C-alpha cells in the first residue's frame, strides 16, 4: 500500500507519497494509507524517483499535487482592489471615491 513520506532536506522536506510498484503518471489519483490506518485519495504531482527500492521491489517517490484553490467569494458583482471590495451598485457614484 502506498504511504506518506517526508522528502529529504535537499528537496525541501515536503510531504510526498512512497509508491509500492510502478510509478504513476503525474495527475493520477492514488490511494495512500495514513498512519492511523485510514485511506486517503491523493493526486500525484511529479515523479521524483523511480527504480528498485531497498526491499528489492519496484517503487517510486512522488510529490503531492497542490489542491485547487477554493477562495471565498466577494459576493454579488464585487471586485477586489488592494484588499478592499466595492459592489457594482455604487460604481456610478463618483462621490464615493
| SS (HEC) of 19-82 | EECCCCCCCCEEEEECCCCCEEEEEEEEEEEEEECCCCCEEEEEEECCCCCCCCCCCCCEEEEC
pLDDT of amino acid 40: 93
Residue holding cell 510526498? 16
Please indicate, yes or no, whether the overall pTM of this predicted structure exceeds 0.75. Answer: no
To which residue does cell 503518471 refer?
25
* More confident call, 96 vs 29: 29
Residue 86 pLDDT level (bands cut at 50, 70, 90): very low
- Partnered with residue 15 across adjacent β-strands are 6
Rounded CA gap, 32 and 14, in Å? 16
Query: What does the pLDDT look like over 32-55, one tens digit per residue?
Result: 998 899 999 999 999 989 999 888
If DSSP codes are grouped into helix, strand and coil, which group holds residue 87? Answer: strand
| Selected residue with higher pLDDT from 6 and 91 | 6
The pLDDT value recorded for residue 97 is: 40
Amino acid at each position: 500500500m502506498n504511504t506518506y513520506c517526508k522528502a529529504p532536506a535537499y528537496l525541501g522536506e515536503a510531504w510526498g507519497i512512497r509508491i509500492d510498484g510502478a510509478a504513476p503518471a503525474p495527475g493520477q489519483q492514488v490511494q495512500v494509507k495514513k498512519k492511523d490506518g485510514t485511506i486517503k485519495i491523493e493526486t500525484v504531482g511529479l515523479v521524483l524517483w523511480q527504480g528498485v527500492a531497498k526491499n528489492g521491489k519496484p517503487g517510486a517517490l512522488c510529490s503531492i499535487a497542490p489542491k485547487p484553490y477554493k477562495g471565498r467569494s466577494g459576493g454579488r458583482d464585487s471586485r477586489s482592489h488592494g484588499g478592499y471590495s466595492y459592489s457594482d451598485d455604487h460604481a456610478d457614484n463618483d462621490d464615493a471615491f
